[in-house]
Amino acid sequence: MKRLSFIIILLSLMGTNQLLAQNKATDKKIEKILQQLTLKEKLDMCHAQSKFSSKGIARLGIPELWMSDGPHGIRPEISWDSWEHAGWTNDSCTAFPALTCLAATFNPEMSYKYGKAIGEEARYRKKDILLGPGVNIYRTPLNGRNFEYMGEDPYLASKMVVPYIHGVQENGVAACVKHYVLNNQEHWRDHINVEISDRALYEIYLPAFKTAVQEGKVWSIMGAYNQFRGQYCCHNELLVNKILKQDWNFDGVLVTDWGATHDTKEAALNGLDIEMGTGTDGLTSSLKNAYDNYYMANPLQKMVESGEIDESVIDDKVRRVLRLMFRTNMNSSRPFGSMNSQEHFNVAREIAQEGIVLLKNKNKFFPIDPNTTKSIAIIGENATKIMSLGGGSSELKTIHEISPLEGIKKQFKNAQILHAMGYASGPSVYGRVVSSELNADSLKNEAIKVAANADMVLFIGGLNKNHHQDCEGDDRKQFALPFGQNELLSEILKVNKNTGVILISGNAVEMPWISKVDAIMQTWYLGSEAGNAIADILSGTVNPSGKLPFSFPVKLEDNAAHSYDEMSYPGDGVKQIYKEDILVGYRWHDTKKIKPLYAFGYGLSYTNFKLLNAKADKSTYHENDILSLTCEIENTGDTKGSEVIQVYSNDIEASVLRPLKELKAFQKVTLQAGETKTVHLKIPVKDLAFFDDSIMDWNLEKGQFKLLIGNSSQNITKSITITVE
């Protein structure tokens, strides 16, 4: 045994040494290239030359750098100089489920598969940087872009982001984790100045980025549009120079969000490496070759030439860009990638299946027997709406997207499937609402008629990717379901009580009808295999195991950010203050005793589980210990299923306010009917610390802590008290 560990250590040391030698060799090459570049050439590498690329150095054979949105698939090609689609015919991709769905799997293995598959597609499409994933924290259900992020908990987002990055980067494609940081709403995102305590910044909003850098070893980060303490995030001294580059040792490239640079000197000195998206589409006041006018182009050249900025500042940026290139498009052992393979569609389907969350299931409404001969009325626009379109920069042109209606028809061959749209939202157009021209009354009346004559109703509604829904550029206007869905649903319930609701959204919604429907399923935007995955769950072919990555409040005011005045959300147009501080999501609901409609971490299964014999390895720990927890989990039902064991901590003797619960570990376990497994969970004791702004560091206070074990933030079945000495 000892010999084996010795060999493992030796091998890993050899690996580390090899890596160090490789890095040294790359650094040498970088220095050699740097010596040959003119100032103009260096600056060319620090700003865009088209909507999604920056210049190479043709005379030296240094390639251009090509980027693509993410994070759910490889975006169709965009024109050189405008936001128009380029009109290529070979740029259809696999649409993977939205990141909310990935987070809902609570399964890092899914994250790796996602990253690997999307990375292969990025590589095949000759992209060097994939603009994603996003890890902004879910602060308000109105944020139009929550669907692109990984929920409200910093630990969950941290655990899920790392394997995604590894999967992508194994392909020689850089992931670009965005939007650093505090871009937690779309409304006024291009200028709003966020004020927040250091504690909330470090405990809630930074951890997923920090883990992406330190464990994920991500090669690029995208700065956010908004300001933080009066300075734009892309050239924010504290966020970029101090935290990202100095404290976290980030050796990659900081890319702006598109058009998020505002000042040449600040950008140069405060750590921005590549400027993208400054007005270049002829729609702004830009000149023809507006790229020369970028903050980091001619204006920066002048400052260097006049001696106002030292050329070494530019050299640091170019070194970073070249380092990224040696990892991506100048890496000769880069794999070739692949596109639209059956394997990729399988990955999309598997993640979709694992992320769907069963919220309510009275009288075993679901699953529905796949051999049923009953009539099923499928009502709702989302039964047929293509969701890979719209949403802003995450829009996709997918080779296929199976709608829920198609998926259900395929798997319920003997049933009589009836369908009515019920309501219509209009097309998805970026930046504005275009209403449907269909007659709302006729749609509603037809749906009620169809519902009345069916044995059961599946209402497939929710939000969509239109402006003011789940879409970039602005926020939702209301917490309630849009397009008259609540009224429609209440009419349907009058004629058919045998109704289940399937919500397709990236956000929580108000559910005034909750007690009147038998079943509710939260299915997110699921990509190419959406309908297949939904039907897999409906038919019971797959047992649901998704858990909510954010809390569903009963009403909007129950959400922390909305419990305060408008300075908290959305701000006064100039600034906003995160008044709830560290009490985001379930931290707020728990601590303030405001019961959510559905809690963080919650999700039902078609089987039942029992948690047994949970214990910690010791009762007293020291700061550098790794706490080891074991418990048994038994599948007490008659169907195979998966459960997520969640461990939250509670600091009993804290000198500062601490949330009642903070997620510290989780694990998804799959069990056959009747099977029992032992689960091992590890928590570094250091993770029990809080960020103490009086010392600007993490502080682990001695004393007693509770470890709360359960299967949602509200369903704790075992509490273990430990002492930290």
Name the minimum Å distance from CB 431 to ligand BGC.
11
Asked if 412 contacts 372 with a C-beta cutoff of 8 angstroms, the reply is yes
Per CB under 6 A, which of residues 164..193 are in contact with ligand BGC? 178
Name the minimum Å distance from CB 395 to ligand BGC.
9
Name the minimum Å distance from CB 650 to ligand BGC.
36
Q: CB-based burial of residue 646 (10 Å sphere; 0-12 exposed, 13-18 middle, 19+ buried)?
A: buried
Question: Which of 476, 487, 481, 466 shows the shortest CA–CA distance to 511?
Answer: 481
Q: How far apart are CA 568 and CA 509, in angstroms?
A: 20
- For ligand BGC, which is the closer residue by CB, 87 or 307? 87
H-only helix segments in 37-60: 39-44
- For ligand BGC, which is the closer residue by CB, 257 or 354? 257
Q: How far apart are CA 363 and CA 659, in angstroms?
A: 35
Name the minimum Å distance from CB 141 to ligand BGC.
19
- For ligand BGC, which is the closer residue by CB, 175 or 683? 175
Q: Is 475 in the site for ligand BGC (CB under 6 A)?
A: no
Binding mask 317-356 for ligand BGC (x = CB under 6 A): ----------------------------------------
Name the minimum Å distance from CB 180 to ligand BGC.
11
Question: Which of 364, 404, 408, 356 shows the shortest CA–CA distance to 380?
Answer: 404
Asked if 95 contacts 527 with a C-beta cutoff of 8 angstroms, the reply is yes
Q: CB-based burial of residue 639 (10 Å sphere; 0-12 exposed, 13-18 middle, 19+ buried)?
A: middle
Neighbours of 694 (CB within 10 A): 9
Q: Is 474 in the site for ligand BGC (CB under 6 A)?
A: no
User: Cis (ω within 30 of 0) for the bond into 344?
Assistant: no
- For ligand BGC, which is the closer residue by CB, 72 or 178? 178
Name the minimum Å distance from CB 396 to ligand BGC.
12
- For ligand BGC, which is the closer residue by CB, 473 or 553? 473
44, 91, 257, 581: which one is catalytic?
Answer: 257
Q: Is 131 in the site for ligand BGC (CB under 6 A)?
A: yes
Question: Which of 287, 183, 200, 170 shows the shortest CA–CA distance to 234?
Answer: 183
- For ligand BGC, which is the closer residue by CB, 183 or 568? 183
Residue with tokens 């169809």: 450
Phi then psi for residue 226, to 5 deg, are -75, 175
- For ligand BGC, which is the closer residue by CB, 69 or 275? 69
Amino acid at site 236: N
Q: How far apart are CA 534 and CA 608, in angstroms?
A: 21
Asked if 502 contacts 523 with a C-beta cutoff of 8 angstroms, the reply is yes
Number of residues that bind ligand BGC (CB under 6 A): 6
Binding mask 72-111 for ligand BGC (x = CB under 6 A): ----------------------------------------
Asked if 233 contacts 224 with a C-beta cutoff of 8 angstroms, the reply is yes
492 by DSSP, 3-state: which?
Answer: helix
Q: Is 65 in the site for ligand BGC (CB under 6 A)?
A: no
Q: How far apart are CA 144 and CA 474, in angstroms?
A: 6
Q: Is 257 in the site for ligand BGC (CB under 6 A)?
A: yes
Largest CA distance in the chain: 81
- For ligand BGC, which is the closer residue by CB, 255 or 503? 255
Neighbours of 100 (CB within 10 A): 27
Q: How far apart are CA 358 and CA 364, in angstroms?
A: 11
- Residue 294, phi-psi category: left (phi > 0), alpha (psi -120 to 50), beta (remainder): beta
Q: CB-based burial of residue 206 (10 Å sphere; 0-12 exposed, 13-18 middle, 19+ buried)?
A: buried
Chosen residue from 107, 231, 393, 563 binding ligand BGC by CB under 6 A: 393
Question: Which of 667, 679, 30 shows the shortest CA–CA distance to 327?
Answer: 30
Whether 257 is catalytic: yes
Name the minimum Å distance from CB 184 to ligand BGC.
13
**Rounded-to-10 torsion of CA 530, 535, 541, 546:** 50
- For ligand BGC, which is the closer residue by CB, 131 or 358? 131
Q: Is 714 in the site for ligand BGC (CB under 6 A)?
A: no
Name the minimum Å distance from CB 68 to ligand BGC.
9
Chosen residue from 188, 258, 609, 691 binding ligand BGC by CB under 6 A: 258
Asked if 43 contacts 296 with a C-beta cutoff of 8 angstroms, the reply is yes
Name the minimum Å distance from CB 465 to ligand BGC.
14
As a residue count, the chain comes to: 725
Q: How far apart are CA 482 and CA 459, in angstroms?
A: 14
- For ligand BGC, which is the closer residue by CB, 258 or 326? 258
Neighbours of 280 (CB within 10 A): 26
First to last CA, the chain: 32
- For ligand BGC, which is the closer residue by CB, 208 or 583? 208
DSSP per-residue codes, 207-232: HHHHHHHHTT--SEEEEPSSEETTEE
Q: How far apart are CA 286 and CA 280, in angstroms?
A: 6
Name the minimum Å distance from CB 249 to ligand BGC.
25
Name the minimum Å distance from CB 393 to ligand BGC.
4
- Residue 558, phi-psi category: left (phi > 0), alpha (psi -120 to 50), beta (remainder): alpha
Q: Name the residue number minimizing CB distance to ligand BGC.
A: 393
Q: For 20, what's the count of Cα atoms within 13 Å in the CB-facing half-sphere?
A: 6
Q: Is 202 in the site for ligand BGC (CB under 6 A)?
A: no
What tokens does 333 get?
A: 């052992």
Name the minimum Å distance from CB 224 to ligand BGC.
8
Q: What angle do CA 463, 151, 690 make, to 5 degrees?
A: 155
What tokens does 281 get?
A: 């589409």
Amino acid at site 142: L
- For ligand BGC, which is the closer residue by CB, 396 or 709? 396
Name the minimum Å distance from CB 179 to ligand BGC.
6
Q: Is 69 in the site for ligand BGC (CB under 6 A)?
A: yes
- For ligand BGC, which is the closer residue by CB, 233 or 534? 233
β-pairing verdict for 65-69 and 129-131: parallel
Q: Which residues are tagged catalytic?
A: 257
- Chain residues binding ligand BGC by CB under 6 A are 69, 131, 178, 257-258, 393
